Each structure stands twice: as structure tokens, then as C-alpha cells.
Amino acid sequence: MKSFINVSDLGDLKQALQEAQEIKKDRYKLTPLGRNRTLLMIFFNNSLRTRLSTQKAAMNLGMNVIVLDVNQGAWKLETERGVIMDGDKSEHLLEAIPVMGCYCDIIAVRSFAGLKDRDYDYAETVVNQFIRYSGRPVVAMETATVHPLQAFADLITIEEYKRVERPKVVLTWAPHCRALPQAVPNSFAQWMLAANVDLVVTHPEGYELDPAFVENATIEYDQHKALEGADFVYAKNWSCPGVTRPEDYGKILCDDRSWTIDEEHMSWTNEARFMHCLPVRRGLIVTDEVIEGPNSIVIPEAANREISATVVLKHMLRELN
Ligand code: CP
């Protein structure tokens, strides 16, 4: 695996889910695999779960880990070509990336969408430069448009908690006070469509996700209808993806608090489990009662981030060895 961006990069998904269960039984049995191998984790944006779980996964596999917060302690990086660098950015990404590649065997990158220029974000300009110039396998730790480590952990969690062979999984938009990227819902849709689930996506008009990710998923604009009979409710906010109106890309189009997941919303479901990638804003996305309730599985979902990252790094290390 030269890069981990999309669900197809992992190969056979059923097999990967089996590997996840095996790793859960004994997460340290592959410690020799990463001996004298180094993971470099580059953060352009903040993180709690991704930082800790990916580092733990690398340690499970016996790897050394270096973490670099680009905005704290490194030179400020220019990412555009063709600019005169007479501002506050001291180093260009095109030198920094191959230098980073000199010090590691695998690079993991977090670089969020700027939400200003849809073409720039959806071209995955930053992570593609890492893939092209680092000379190392690259793991997406949430890029402009995808968050595959999260989506893989979400799928592992659904497999563990499902009560029927093909559960109904509802991805629902929920309100938020800040404009957020589409990476989590994009990847969630992509991974659910590759898995054995019945995916329904619900959001207000204008929030249509990019067809490259939702393909032929069922879209239901009536949240109540969408939630009926759901086995899993996956709540997430995202800003306008700019599919129908490119000029609205990255904007907040709706602040309708009736989309907040509360106990009434959950009562429309088939005693659904509640999921969210975290961090979550209580009172906007979900009420205290739901996230603290017996059907909330947000903590085991976060715990599975260590498992998804361990499987991905294992695949990459196997190809290096
Ligand atoms: N879910 C997730 O990626 O969490 P962090 O942003 O804290 O890493």
C-alpha cells in the first residue's frame, strides 16, 4: 500500500475486518514487524484521538515514532508553487517533504480543508505532494476530503455492535457553530458503501456530498423518515460541499436546531446505537442524554481508532519488509 486514502487502498475489506478482530485479541503479537522502522506523524491541525491512537498503533507494532506539529516549532511552510516567499513562510513544502522522508519509513499527515477553494481542497493538493515527493508510504490522518482511519474504525465498531446481518446505518447532518470540512462524512459514506450495510444519508438541502463519495446512496431530506428503523445513527456536521452551488462551498447554510439528535430522534429508530467521531459539541450535534445514554458507543468507536491504525500500518510494514 503506497498510500492510505480510500477504502480501496486496503484491499479486501472483509479480510481487513478479520485482521482487526485478530489484532484486538492480541495487539502486541506483531511487535517485531516494526523494529527499526520509524513513523513520522505530521500535524498541520489539532488532534486528540488521531494523534494518540496512531502513535499507540505504531508502538503496538514495535515502531519508533516522531511527531511534528508544523505550526508549533517547525518553520512555517509555503504550500503554493510560483509564489515569491517574502512573507512569514520560511520553507517550501517541496523541500520540507523530501527532507521529512529522509528520517522515516512511513509518513502520516493531517491537513484539513481550507474551505475557501473547492478545487484546491478536492484536488488534495497537500497530501498529494507528500505522496509524490516524500518517497515514503503516506497515511491520511484526515486530509482535505477524507478521514479513512476514522471510517475504518467506524466500520469495525458497526461490525461489533450490529444485531442484523445488514444493518440500516443513517448518516445525519447536525448543526454546528463553525464551518467544518466534509472529510468525515465523505469517508464514512465511501466505507459504508463498500461494506454490507444499508446506508441512508440525511441532511438539509444544499448539503449534498460529493458524488465521488456518496455514489448511489439513498438521500432522504426528511430526517424523521431517514431515522425510522435505523440500527445505527451516525451524526456529523459538515459545511456546504458546493456540489449544487460551488459559490457556497465551505459555508454554513443552515442552523436548524431541530436536527440535533435528542431522545425523541432516537425513539424513531430501531433502538439504534449512537455514533460520532468526536470531538462533539453537546447541545448542537447531540444532547447530553443521548451521548451519555446506554446506546451511545462513541467511546468504543474511539477505542477502535487504535485498531484501524494498527491494521493499516501492519499492511504498510509488510510491504517494506
Ligand atoms: N475523530 C478524530 O479524528 O479526532 P481528533 O480530531 O481528536 O484526532
Q: What is the pLDDT of residue 127?
A: 97
Residue 108 DSSP symbol: E
The class (CATH top level) of 3-146+305-320 is alpha beta
Task: Determine the atom of ligand 1 nearest the C-alpha atom of 277.
Answer: 1
Task: Confirm if 172 and 226 have CB atoms less than 8 A apart.
Answer: yes
What tens digit of pLDDT does each residue of 146-187 get? 999 999 999 999 999 999 999 999 999 999 999 999 999 999
The mean of the pLDDT values for the chain is 97
Residue 305: CB within 6 Å of ligand 1? no
Q: What is the dihedral of CA 157, 159, 164, 166, to 10 degrees?
A: 110
Task: Please check whether the two domains, 3-146+305-320 and 150-301, share a CATH topology.
Answer: yes
Q: Is the confidence at residue 301, as pLDDT, over 80?
A: yes
Enumerate the domain spans of the chain: 3-146+305-320, 150-301
Residue 33: CB within 6 Å of ligand 1? no
Task: Determine the atom of ligand 1 nearest the C-alpha atom of 149.
Answer: 3
Question: DSSP H helical segments within 34-182, as ranges?
Answer: 49-60, 93-102, 118-122, 125-133, 148-161
Q: Is the confidence at residue 272, as pLDDT, over 90?
A: yes
Residue nearest to atom 7 of ligand 1 (CA): 48
What tens digit of pLDDT does each residue of 97-132 get? 999 999 999 999 999 999 999 999 999 999 999 999
Of 3.40.50.1370, 3.40.50.10860, 3.60.20.10, 3.20.20.70, which CATH number belongs to 150-301? 3.40.50.1370
